[in-house]
Amino acid sequence: MVGKQNSEGQLELFNTKEFGAEEILKPRDKMIPAAKNTESSYSAFGWRFQIITEIIFSIKNIQELKSVEVEGLTEDIELYFTKKNPMYIQVKAVQKDFIDATDPGKATLAMNTLINTSNRVGNKYSELVYVANFRNPLNLTDALLESAWKPSMDSVFTTKYNELPEAAKVFIEDRIDKAQKQLKQKNYKNSIENFDRDRLSVSTILFGSDSDTRGVSVLGGTLESLFQEAGIPMRGWRISKLQKSLVEYYFANAGSSTNSEKYITITKEKLVWRVIFEVMDCTADDSDKNVPMPLIDGVNEYVDEFIQDQSQDINIINKIYAGIAQYAPNGEYLEPIVDNYINNEWKKYKTDFPLNEDADIQEYGIKTLIKKIITGQKTVHKITKVVNLK
């Protein structure tokens, strides 16, 4: 009897499929997709939705969050926590009208990958989540959509498997069965012994092709809820500016490749401090009131570039707070005291801020940023408290 070589170059004397020896089959490698994507324009659209989903779920879990990986070793999005096992999220999007679209195949592919994930990580996860961008990911009737599945344009809608209407459970079970068959056909492990329905959830984040307007309003609503909890008045154009900046930053900065060309790892600290700097930038204040009129445009550009490019390193903030504390040991940052501190000490921070070929723009840009950081101290305290950042 002539054997054949397996993927590791070893000689197999038997066809394991004939003997049903499933236990020796391995989960599908993450780099091998469950199905080939045929939509040529999907890449940028799907990636944008993935980034939005990552930010939303990170914010909603921010108190327990340790870090998040996009296009990680196992799933589209992987949330890691300080005191519990990771959450694995599979993201599926359609470019049709997200209100009326249905696509049962997306749920099948999601279950395929989530089953595969459960076999890769065993029992070591806190939740498995299928996230879709369209209103009806469970193929429900109009009556059930009206009564049991009502996502909104300003918040993510999530339901645990055990809380789904019976018709939705039947749909998911059918998708699980189809997903198992897909895996088996490819000779991958398709066991569901680690696939715990008690830890399975389905979510909708309404997101369309008009991604600069209503398509990101769920993210805007999530951010607004965070600021409401922190007692910070961030609404309207300020929320729009913040959400656009966050999405564009992470959308453009994919590429620190570990497993995928779009792999990103984001720590809780980095995400929070990026939010803080963005809030400082769009909060109305008089930090530039002493800037000479001919320099206003250049200084504003200097400040905006620092906000966009800063590395989320809080050392500069801590240094400035320590410095002003020496001028106002009682904590009363009266305007004359603050102005005196800035005028006397700004040169000490030149290496912490970007260089500029125009020395005047650099000077007033640094002074403006220091003033913004001091003015925003209460905001920093409120945000770090509500997100449980020490």
**Residue 294 per-residue DSSP state:** G
Strands 65-70 and 264-267: antiparallel
Check: CB of residue 243 under 8 Å from CB of residue 215: no
Question: Which one has a higher pLDDT value, 44 or 227?
Answer: 227
Least confident of 30-39, 338-347, 369-378: 30-39
Model confidence at 23: pLDDT above 70: no
Identify the band that residue 322 occupies on the pLDDT scale cut at 50, 70 and 90. Answer: very high
Report d(CA 165, CA 78) in Å as an integer.
Answer: 27
The SS3 of residue 63 is: coil
Least confident of 21-25, 38-42, 269-273: 38-42
Least confident of 129-133, 167-171, 212-216: 212-216
Identify the band that residue 349 occupies on the pLDDT scale cut at 50, 70 and 90. Answer: very high
Residue 39 has what pLDDT? 45
Residue 10 has what pLDDT? 38
Model confidence at 5: pLDDT above 90: no
Residue 72 has what pLDDT? 74
Tokens at 330, concatenated: 């009682």
Identify the band that residue 44 occupies on the pLDDT scale cut at 50, 70 and 90. Answer: confident
**Residue 310 per-residue DSSP state:** -
The SS3 of residue 107 is: helix
Q: Estimate the share of the chain in helix, then strand, then coil, as percent rounded to the nearest 5.
A: 50, 10, 40
The chain-wide mean pLDDT, for the chain, equals: 85
Per the listing, tokens 């296009």 go with 71
Identify the band that residue 236 occupies on the pLDDT scale cut at 50, 70 and 90. Answer: confident
Model confidence at 2: pLDDT above 60: no
Residue 284 has what pLDDT? 67
Identify the band that residue 83 occupies on the pLDDT scale cut at 50, 70 and 90. Answer: very high
Return the sign of the alpha-carbon dihedral for residues 77, 209, 246, 214.
Answer: negative
For the chain, the C-alpha Rg in angstroms (whole number) is: 25
Model confidence at 216: pLDDT above 50: yes
Residue 167 has what pLDDT? 96
Residue 309 has what pLDDT? 72
Model confidence at 7: pLDDT above 50: no
Of 137, 266, 265, 119, nearest in space to 201 by CA: 137
Report d(CA 219, CA 154) in Å as an integer.
Answer: 7
What backbone phi and psi angles, to 5 degrees, belong to 340? -65, -45
Report d(CA 284, CA 289) in Å as an integer.
Answer: 12
Least confident of 36-50, 233-247, 257-271: 36-50
Residue 311 has what pLDDT? 55
Predicted TM-score of the model (pTM): 0.85
Model confidence at 1: pLDDT above 50: no
Model confidence at 271: pLDDT above 50: yes
Per the listing, tokens 């921010």 go with 62
With a pLDDT cut of 90, the percent of the chain lying above it is 57
